């Protein structure tokens, strides 16, 4: 298995656990619409959060929070609209938002920093 795929999957599991510990309910993991994937969809009280998870092994190509650009956000909005239109009963919420969970690893030190940015778009 590719190391970046493994790191990404680990990052998504850490992000999901973090959200659950923060009181959120995970509704979907790796929701797909056409060619777009939303990493996590979570209920945070009366709000549905569409969560993009970015994990970086090092800062060589920039920090994780810098990886979400306008094209990615446009695709996430499109997939989120589809999710909201096709949502199962009980998933309706008065509000929704797009979040980023950025995980930056320092492999030399064996540390990881998690940053949760709510409402990125």
Cα–Cα distance, 96 to 2 (Å, whole number): 33
Q: What pTM does this model have?
A: 0.85
Q: What is the mean pLDDT of residues 5-27?
A: 92
Domain of 10, CATH number, reads 3.40.1350.10
What's the first-to-final CA gap in the chain, in angstroms?
33
Cα distances (Å, whole numbers) of residue 32 to 38, 61, 79: 6, 26, 7
Q: How many domains does the chain have?
A: 1
Q: 6 vs 114, which has greater pLDDT?
A: 114
pLDDT of residue 108: 81
Query: pLDDT for 81-117, tens place per residue?
Result: 889 888 766 667 679 999 999 998 887 888 888 999 9
Local structure of 103: helix, strand or coil: strand
* pLDDT at residue number 4: 54
pLDDT interval class at 63 (50, 70, 90): low
Domain range for 87 is: 3-117
Q: Are 27 and 41 in contact (CB under 8 A)?
A: yes
Q: Which of 23-27, 49-53, 105-109 has the lowest mean pLDDT?
A: 105-109
């Amino acid at each position: 298995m590719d190391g970046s795929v493994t790191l990404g999957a680990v990052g998504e599991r850490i992000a999901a656990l973090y959200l659950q510990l923060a009181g959120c309910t995970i509704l979907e993991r790796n929701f797909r619409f056409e060619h777009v994937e939303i990493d996590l969809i979570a209920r945070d009280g009366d709000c549905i959060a569409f969560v993009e998870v970015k994990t970086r092994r090092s800062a060589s190509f920039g920090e994780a929070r810098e990886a979400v650009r306008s094209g990615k956000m446009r695709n996430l909005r499109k997939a989120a609209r589809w999710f909201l239109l096709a949502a199962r009963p009980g998933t309706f919420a008065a509000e929704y938002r797009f979040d980023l969970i950025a995980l930056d690893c320092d492999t030399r030190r064996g540390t990881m920093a998690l940053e949760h940015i709510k409402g990125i778009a």
